[in-house]
Amino acid sequence: MPILIAIRTDHSVRGFSVGVAAHGIGTARAFQVSEEAGAFSGLAMGLNGLATALLFPLLVWLLHALSR
């Protein structure tokens, strides 16, 4: 997060970045920064989980199909 602070991003960008990268511990830390950062961190964590759950099986199927 120090890099995001150094380049002067707002709390929503910081929260979203931390949520995608750090999951629960990062989201807890984002809430310490601000409520907005924590909210965006939680949103990012949820969207990342949803995308992983939907896209990973598709990727495995595609790799399996290409390996034949």
Give per-residue pLDDT as tens, 13-63. 877 777 777 777 888 888 998 999 889 888 988 898 899 899 999 999 999
Q: Are 26 and 19 in contact (CB under 8 A)?
A: yes
Distance CA 26, CA 15 (A): 9
Does 66 score more than 70 pLDDT? yes
66/55 Cα distance (integer angstroms): 16
The arithmetic mean of pLDDT across residues 4-18, rounded, is 81
Residues 62, 34 contacting (CB under 8 angstroms): no
